[in-house]
Structure 1
């Protein structure tokens, strides 16, 4: 059984519903179960900044799918949740990224694992480290200078009921 860590983000439509649906759909994949879910965080956009705030979370999966099969399923889920790829780092209903897959490095035309920019993104690291605090030494080994970003800037824990904690 493989262990995969994913980042899920959304900033369009009913953001919380998109996150819940993505997690449900991941759990419905063949030979796959959701083994852990982080809290939801509200985060400032990165890259293309003229867009609404995102909701982000991390998910741990146990799966018999191979890394590229999981990527295909993630892209299918994004599509089913209404994602249309128009602007790089632009608004989206769903974004599912494979961050880690076992302790493997994967390098294909379609997939790079560990995710090559994860150490630069608080919206990825904060939920991941909440979900799996013991993974920090692995990330420090993989990414010299880890973390490459302030883990307190531009990210707020989402409170039950939909409000973000003040910064």
Structure 2
């Protein structure tokens, strides 16, 4: 089963881990389709029907993005708002086109995992901070999967940490 990876990174050329994830995923075109929103929509104007047709072709979809300001990049939020429409994603007999599709998030974070905890500086674990994604995908009857999160990109940019992130992500995708 081929997986659609929807990548939303406003500056992929300057990315460290997201760019490397894309490079690795690109080695397996028989298993993964990479769809970079900022590349396809540099002006931010989303072709809703094209996006809906694309999503309909896949049973597994991963939203890959860097996590900052306790959220996803703005273009991904806009994509969710515009593509998951009434009558297509929910709310009518012809809706629920995402029903049963495996949906997952792959998130890169600058902070350490310990900073996102009840005893950490940010007080809440990532699972609580991304709850709106979980609820949104449950609302459209998708099969929301536990997210993949890779921490420490503000602190550990050495090659061994990056290689670990690539290996862990590929393993996650393989078992999705």
Q: What TM-score does the superposition give when structure 1 sets the normalisation length? A: 0.33
User: Which of the pair has more CA radius of gyration?
Assistant: 2
Between Structure 1 and Structure 2, the one with more helix by share is 2
Between Structure 1 and Structure 2, the one with more strand by share is 1
Instruction: Name which structure has the greater RCO, CA cutoff 8 Å, separation 6+.
Output: 1
Q: What TM-score does the superposition give when structure 2 sets the normalisation length? A: 0.32
